[in-house]
Amino acid sequence: MLRHFPYATLGHAHHGWLDARHHFSFASYHNSDRMGFGALRVINDDKIAAGMGFAPHAHDNMEIITYVRQGAISHKDSLGNEGRTAAGDVQVMSAGTGIIHSEYNHEATDTRLYQLWIKPNKRDVAPRWEAQIFPKEPVTHQLNLLVSGMEEHRDCGAMWMYADAAIYGGRMHAGTHIMQPLKHRAYILVSEGQCMIHGQIMEQGDGAQWESSNMLDIHAITDVELLVIDVG
């Protein structure tokens, strides 16, 4: 069974420079029915105004994955890492024993991104950060593997995380139909466009949970961009 969460029903916080939608309880938004999905604890759909961002702050023992949908985000941390992640690309930070980082939108326009927090399956690891550019060509068979902590994906070219989870993403042209295999259960995010997941129409910004089988049935109604988080 697919449990659908339309964009308008998500938690909402507007801080002027930051317009955030929360798929799960976060900061001042609390919903006892939306505390996470397995090891997936946070999904924030953030719009960050030009020239603004998150000042240096600390994290520990969390896998933090950022998928940039529009614009770019610039990262700087206490390990000396610096990088700019642009639309369609992904960065991964293992907070481990502790890390301080900042994230700013140094672009001339708003930046849109998803930030995901996944509970690690190994605590107190050495903190780390990396970013990677992924193919932008629309997919026809399966979504691209972006990030994984599954042993079977060690040699697949995906970025690593300390979690029994995998994140897939990609664009599909209107009319494309794919069957996306899963190991566990999935949380689906529609970044752009409109699609149908197991008969349920989903619009831009929507989320959904799927726990009924190890396969996702995805039809693109319009050109669409999706993220699928396969998580234990």
Provide the pLDDT for residue 122: 97
**Residue ranges of domains in the chain:** 2-132, 144-231
pLDDT at 35 over 90: yes
| CA nearest to 88, candidates 218, 193, 231, 227 | 227
Name the CATH superfamily, with its identifier, for domain 2-132: Jelly Rolls (2.60.120.10)
Report, as an integer, the average pLDDT of 184-190: 98
Euclidean distance between CA atoms 206 and 8, whole angstroms: 8
Residues in the chain: 232
Contact yes or no for 42/56 (Cβ under 8 A): no
Cα separation, 4 vs 52, whole angstroms: 32
The second-level CATH assignment, the architecture, of 144-231 is Sandwich (2.60)
The residue type of 156 is C
pLDDT at site 135: 85
Predicted local confidence at residue 1, as pLDDT: 87
Q: Give the per-residue pLDDT at 124.
A: 98
Task: Report how far residue 166's alpha carbon sits from residue 105's, in angstroms, rounded to the nearest whole number.
Answer: 27
Q: What is the per-residue pLDDT for 58? A: 98
pLDDT of residue 225: 97
Topology alike, domains 2-132 and 144-231: yes
